[in-house]
Amino acid sequence: LTLKLAIKSVREMKPAQILVACPVAPAETAEEIYKLVDQATFLEADQNFLGAVGAHYLSFPQTSDEEVIQALTKANQKINDFPK
């Protein structure tokens, strides 16, 4: 869902192309993403995905709410500063 919303948001900016690179996703989701973008690459599109992205990594620490808010605030500032 997060990636789909990101694609929707980027599409509103009217880019020439939308390219997606994603390390791992359920096979069904990968198929949906392929239809939404110009090009997509998945290192692993798992038919038996159990919903735990972290299970595919040696280290997958959690991100705090504060870290997410800071990252989104910083990204929003960059978007607002981007020449139109």
Question: Where do the domains of the chain lie, and which CATH numbers do they carry?
Answer: 2-81 (3.40.50.2020)
- Confidence grade of residue 77 (pLDDT, cut at 50, 70, 90): confident
Region of 49 (left: φ > 0; alpha: ψ -120 to 50; beta: rest) is beta
Per-residue pLDDT at 84 exceeds 70: no
20 beta partners: 40
pLDDT (mean) for 6-30: 94
Q: How many Cα neighbours within 13 Å face the side chain of 62?
A: 3
pTM of the model: 0.66
pLDDT at residue 39, rounded to an integer? 98
39-73 confidence digits (pLDDT tens): 999 998 888 877 788 888 899 899 999 999 999 99
Residues 36, 31: Cα–Cα separation, whole Å = 9
- The full 3-state SS of 35-55, as one line of letters, equals HHCCEEEEEEEECCCCCCHHH
